[in-house]
Each structure stands twice: as C-alpha cells, then as structure tokens.
Amino acid sequence: MKNQRLAAGVVLVSLAGFAATAHLAAQAQQRALYVTALDKSGNPVPDLQPSDLIVKEDDTTREILKIARASEPMQVVIMVDNSAAERTERLQTIFVQATRLSLGTVIPLAGSIILMAGPLVRAWVGPDFAASVLVLRLLSLVVIVRVGSATASTVLKGAGEHRLVAFTNIGAALINLALGIALVRPMGLPGVAVATLIPVGAASMLVLFPAACRRVQMPLFSALREAVWPALWPAAVMSAYVLATRDLVPVSLFAIGVQLLVACGIYALVFVALGISAAQRHLYLSNVAALIRQRVPRRPVSEGA
C-alpha cells in the first residue's frame, strides 16, 4: 500500500468498514480479495484506486484489475475456546475483580454519606428534616448491597441463570411491598427504608452472591476473603477519620463536600496501598493510566511532520 493513503498493515477480513474487491489476473484466472482500508485515525478510506494497493502472492506482484465495494457473500471462520478449566479460571478472576472494584467504588461514597448523614441533611434541607437522616443511611446501605452484588447478577445472567435472577428480584420486590405496607404505619418512612433493605440484602447475600460463587466454582468463604474483605476493611480507617473530625466540620454543603472528598481519598489511599496486592495495584493503576490517555485528546500530526 502507498504510504499516504492507507495505514500500514491494516488489511483484514471484516464485516464492517470499507470492503473492497480487488480482482487479480493470475494464470488466466481472476481472484477476489476482501480487504478493509483504514487511515491512521482508524476511519474507512473511500474511493480507492488500483494504484493505491499492492497485492503480492509468493513475493510476486499481481495486477489489480479493479476495486469495488463488496457485494458478494463471504465466509467467516469463528473459533470458540471450549477449555472448561481456563474458562472457569477467567470467570473467577472477573467475578472477584469486578466485585472488589464495585465495592471499592461504592463503599467510600455511600459509607461517607452514612457517616455524615446528620450534618448533610441539616446543611441541605434544615434541621426540620432530621427524621430523614435514618432513611438516608438505610438507603445508602441498600445502594452498597445492590452495587456490591451487581457482578454476581451479571455472572448469573451470562451463564443462563436469568430465571433465578428474575425470580429472586421479583420475590424481593413483593417482600419489599408487603413489609413496606406493614412497617410504614408504626415506623413511618424509616420503616419503608427497612422494608427495602431486608429483602434486597437477603436476595443479594443469601441467594445471588452464593449462586454466583457456585457458578464460577469458587467457595463462598474464598470469594468473601478475596472480593469483599479487601474492599471492606479500609472503610474502618475512613470511618475513624470521619468520626474523629465530624463535629469540627461547619454545617455547610461546601465544607461537608470537602469532608466527603477527603474521606473518599483516605479510603482510596488505604485500599490501593494496603488492601490489594502489588500485582493487583499495578494492574489497576495501569488501567487507570490507559483510561486517562484515551480521554486526553491528541494533537493532530501534519503529513509533513
């Protein structure tokens, strides 16, 4: 391929992008090749000409008669890895890593809100709504449970256990409704929050999470030790800081927001430095760096550079 038109090495069988048919004259026969032409930015290159391509067969350059958009059917080979042992190991890795990261994300956010719920409610809506502090704490705990068990639900649905997930969620919703009706009169809004926490917690911790452990062939205790505990214990350090400084924070949304950010930062520092192994820390930090590089726009390079 000529250097200014196509990205070097980007010629492959593809069902997307620009597909062209290059007819070759070889031993009185015409052959069709399916190619995809992309520029340096990964965009399809339209309006290709025979002079834009070079096709070689056993180091012999073949003549290109014409190039046109592909309209003929093609055969695509799909290879499937059926290695049960490797697949189970990968599922275990995904289950543990995703659960740990989910908890590592939601625990500092929802946990710091639970600890700062009182000052947050007073600064946000005033002391007249002090009764909503308990509701905020209970619902924040619901969020932790739901996010922490999201990976388990995903694993089960991907493994064909969508009926178990669906029936479990339906049962939890019905129990939530029944408990809410029963508790709203004696307890008010906190009773509704309790009615949400009980079925969600039971469904997540007693049904979905153990079922996902069985699906990836991982003992429940091992999953708790590798996926849950590393994300859970750094919250103790964060809690100690918040409880020690909570009364010193002015009752304003800005000051409370700063307090929440500092608490999340302490959790993140302890989690990354002490909660995970060096190999896992390197993996997480390299992925974050790669994500940042993708987010940062690159300056275009001129053709003459």
Could you state, in order of their start, the residue ranges of all structural domains in the chain?
A: 1-78, 84-295
pLDDT at 57 over 70: yes
Q: Which of 155-164, 216-225, 275-284 has the lowest mean pLDDT?
A: 275-284
What average pLDDT does the segment 270-279 reach? 86
How would you class 260 by CB atoms within 10 Å of its CB: exposed for 0-12, middle for 13-18, buried for 19 or more?
buried
pLDDT, one tens digit per residue, over 141-173 is: 999 999 999 999 999 998 888 899 999 999 999
User: How many angstroms separate the Cα of 67 from the Cα of each of 6, 31, 52?
Assistant: 15, 12, 10
Which of the two residues, 126 and 279, has the higher pLDDT score? 126
> What pTM was estimated for this model as a whole?
0.66
Q: What percent of the chain has pLDDT over 90?
A: 52
pLDDT class of 254 with cuts at 50, 70, 90: very high
